[in-house]
Structure 1
Amino acid sequence: MKEIQHSLEHEDHSLKSILRQPKAAWAVAFACVVAFMGLGLVDPILPAIAKQLHATPSQVSLLFTSYMLVTGIAMLITGWTSSRIGIKWTLLLGLILIILFSFLGGFSHTVNEIIWYRAGWGLGNALFISTALAAIVTVATGGTAGAIILFEAAIGLGMSVGPLLGGGLGSISWRGPFFGVAGLMAIGFLAILLLLQGVPKPKRRSSLLDPFRALGHRGLFILALASLTYNFGFFTLLAFSPFVLHMDEHGLGLVFFFWGILLAITSVIIAPKLQERYHSLPIMYVMLSFLALDLAMMGFGVENHTILVVAIVLAGGFLGIMNTVLTTVVMNVSPFERSIASSAYSFVRFTGGAIAPWLAGKLAEWFNPAIPFYVGAIAVIISIITLMSGKRHLMHIDS
């Protein structure tokens, strides 16, 4: 580990060196941008889908739940798959599934159809995203750190552009964003097929039990549990807030565009600078505290349009820093291979993301629209308590 850190310290992290990449790296990065568009793409069209297909907020929120749940479960098989068919063909298989199910989603006539197609989309997303970082690290120039920054930049760009594109296409028809993703992913598929060459298969075939063995490590298990409740708060904000903003597709797209821009800036620029000066655990305590206060503010001001918009955009900054720091410590906390640790961690954390959208809609139906945000804030506080309770197993994460 020390040798790896020493080599990273001496890599060229300048923007110029990071941008000087071969076509293969840019092909994977472009596909990553589109893949992460899928996360926020449906945000601006959730109210439109609910209105036109006569569905409740909790029913429409299942578009997030099915997507996240299948993505999480599929993370358990991605390492097994890529170690047998190779990184490139795992990427292409994931892209084919995303293209197929997003295209079918555009032809849906009921909410249940879209929910099932989003589940298939989630399977493709898991296969692609879990393998994309390894592909970029393999083909990029400028060292591992530069490749990771390129990957994080692609994620941030996708998260910010997704809602904007969803709002633009959704203003024409709620079906538009589904067809838009299918078309963009088809371009990504061709780019990777033609440009990504010479990526070797992993030397060792991983077992389906490897992620479960990794969760036996106390430090990784604590981080996974903390991320489960953290993601509960994250996706309460992402999936339920469109229903209380009462804005059209363009308006929602702009709000979440600025949310995504702040997320991208903080994850790629601010988070690494904070990690250079401070330990990871205190950073996570502070960001989680800010996020809990932000969600509580949304609950308190659920009838105030200005408070909601400001809180959503600010949350992008807290989430960007938290995501980068949490991902970094997950990669360092256990002795397991990074791909295995990531699969195990993602399996647990996506469960929190899957539960939150549906439950938020139900809580609003049972009580009032403020309650989901208060519950989300409590979930984030539980994340802080989880990290504090397992502190002795995490003391080495910055070593």
Structure 2
Amino acid sequence: MSAATSTKPSILHQPTAVWAIAFACVVAFMGIGLVDPILPAIAESLKASPTQTELLFTSYLAVTGVAMFFTSWVSSRLGAKKTLLIGLALIVVFALLAATSGDVWSIIGFRAGWGLGNALFISTALATIVGAASGGTASAIILYEAALGLGIAIGPLIGGLLGSVSWRGPFFGVTTLMAIAFIAIVLFLKGGAMEKPTPTPLSAPFRALARPALGALAATALFYNIGFFVLLAYTPYPLGFGALGIGFTFFGWGVGLAVTSVWVAPLLTARMKRTTVLKIALPLLALDLVAAAIVVGTPAALVVCVVVGGLVLGVLNTVLTESVMEATDLPRSVASSAYSGVRFLGGAVAPPVATLLADTIAPSAAYVFAAASVAVAFVVVLAAGRALRRVDDGPESAQVEAEAIGAGDLA
């Protein structure tokens, strides 16, 4: 009994280095939704159009997506600690520059640099936690998923609280928190203790997309992510709330996403095939976006659509990225880089297209576009049934599930 107890994994008994990385993960995931509540304030203060402010998401996600194709190549040569620190340093520098900018185009450019830092950090953080954690892989996975969920949930809330004072507040907040995380990793993560991975070829993620199953899942994620980011990035405008109201709305969205990604998705995949879950959840998301198009003029109803969308998105995020890990026999880092790169590029397209459609047609057109994109993702899953057969062959290991969530759940 005592022996079993002593070897039981525990999330609470971790080296200081693991807690330092987990803290940095929370802040990094906060960056996804942090600017959401301050988009209208930036537009008003800097005399920018909604389409221009949506480019804050586009530049961030486009650079993150492109960088994801190369992060495994970089980290396999520099090692985990150097890659983490370079990523954190870039986020600190570009968040500070964004906070002190005086025009929207400068902020758009600095968000691009922020996206590069985020790609380097996030792509390396999970492997580092798993390698440094005590109590076994299971404890490391729980800790990482908790950091992911907490960051996604509180990012919009913190953005709303700081943004209610000034639109510059969230940028200064990220600068401070990431600087603390940088110092903590310098002090507590011992680089010599981390095993350096085998270098991967630069072309590996691109060649991976030629695999039918991985290519189909990447295409699915491309169109699905358009729906994700229309809901996240465009909705602050038709809501018409202040920064705090938007922050609380998307805090509810983030909590729903975190709960279903960590707890509900595993329950569903334990009872049915992953592709079956996708075939159920994708139409539900499309219907939710159609509902948002119908009630776009009623803020209270639109809030409900946002929160319900978060619940469905959490399931889709986890199941899609788990499927990527099962789809091929490629190294997980290569499969994740290829999939995540394509996925983020879909997110980069969505915000400015949504605002252009809303301006030229009607606000509801943005959500119709999002629903149609998710419907295309559903059709891809149906058409690729034979190629995706492998993703339903048995449960994944705990390590695979964690790496899937870490690599693919950033949007």
TM-score (normalizing by structure 1): 0.94
Task: Tell me how far apart the structure 1 counterparts of residues 376 and 133 of structure 2 sit (CA, whole Å).
Answer: 39
**Where do 1:171-320 residues align within 5 Å?**
171-197=164-190, 198-320=192-314
Work out the CA distance in 1 between the residues paired with 2:310 and 2:46: 30
- 2:58 aligns with 65
What is the CA–CA distance in structure 2 between the aligned matches of 1:194 and 1:68, rounded to whole Å? 30
**Is residue 367 from structure 1 mapped to residue 367 from structure 2 by the alignment?**
no
Distance 1:356 1:199 in 2: 42
- Separation in 2, partners of 1:381, 1:51: 35
What SS does the corresponding residue of 2:134 show, helix, strand or coil? coil
Q: CA deviation at 1:202?
A: 3.1
Q: What is the CA deviation profile of residues 10-69 of structure 1, one whole-angstrom value per residue up to 9, with x for unaligned ones? A: 9x999x723432222221111111001111000000000011111111110000000000
Work out the number of aligned pairs and report it. 388
Identity %: 53
Displacement of 1:382 after TM fit? 0.5
Say whether residues 1:81 and 2:81 are aligned partners.
no
Separation (CA, whole Å) in 1 of partners of 2:83 and 2:212: 30
**What is the CA distance between 1:201 and its match in structure 2?**
4.4
Residues 257 and 312, structure 2, Cα contact 8 Å, conserved in 1:
yes
Aligned match of 2:91 = 98
Counterpart in 2 of 1:148?
A: 141
Q: Are 1:299 and 1:371, in contact at CA under 8 Å, matched by a contact in 2?
A: yes
Q: Which amino acid aligns with 1:302?
A: V
Q: Which residue of 2 aligns with 1:122?
A: 115
Q: Aligned partners of 1:286 and 1:139: how far apart in 2?
A: 37
Q: Secondary structure at the match of 1:55?
A: coil
1:7 matched to which residue of 2?
Answer: none
Other-structure match for 1:41: 34
Q: Measure, in 2, the Cα distance between the counterparts of 1:269 and 1:78.
A: 29
Deviation of 1:199 after TM superposition, in Å, equals 4.1
Q: Secondary structure at the match of 1:385?
A: helix
- Equivalent AA in structure 1 for residue 333 of structure 2: S
> Partners of 2:107 and 2:305 in 1: how far apart?
29
Q: Tell me the C-alpha RMSD between the 2 structures.
A: 1.6
| Contact 1:31–1:188 (Cα < 8 Å) also in 2 | yes
Q: Take 1:321 and 1:18, find their aligned partners in 2: how far apart are those partners?
A: 24
Relative to structure 1, the CA distance from residue 196 to residue 118 in structure 2 (aligned partners, 3 Å threshold; closer, same or farther) is: same
Report the secondary structure of 1:54's partner residue. Answer: coil
- TM, length-normalised to structure 2: 0.92
Inter-partner Cα distance in structure 2 for 1:38 and 1:242: 16
The amino acid of 2:215's aligned partner reads F
What is the DSSP-based 3-state SS (H/G/I as helix, E as strand, rest coil) of the residue aligned with 1:397? helix
**8 Å contact kept, 1:302–1:308:** yes
The answer as to whether partners of 1:232 and 1:352 remain within 8 angstroms in 2 is yes
- Residues 87 and 199 in structure 1, CA contact (< 8 A), matched pair in contact too: no
Question: Do residues 131 (structure 1) and 127 (structure 2) align?
Answer: no
Q: Which residue of 2 aligns with 1:110?
A: 103
Conservation of the 8 A alpha-carbon contact between 1:44 and 1:250: yes
Give, in whole Å, the separation in 1 of the partners of 2:66 and 2:119. Answer: 9
Mark the CA change 1:375 to 1:349 in structure 2 (over 3 Å): closer, same or farther. same
Aligned residue type for 1:125: N
Regions of 4+ moved over 2 Å: 16-22, 141-150, 198-203
SS at the partner of 2:363? coil
Change (3 A) 1:390 1:19: farther
Answer yes or no: is the 8 Å Cα contact 2:132–2:194 preserved in 1: no
d(CA) in 2 for partners of 1:51 and 1:285? 41
Quote the residue 2:402 is aligned against: none
Tell me which amino acid in the other structure corresponds to 2:293.
G
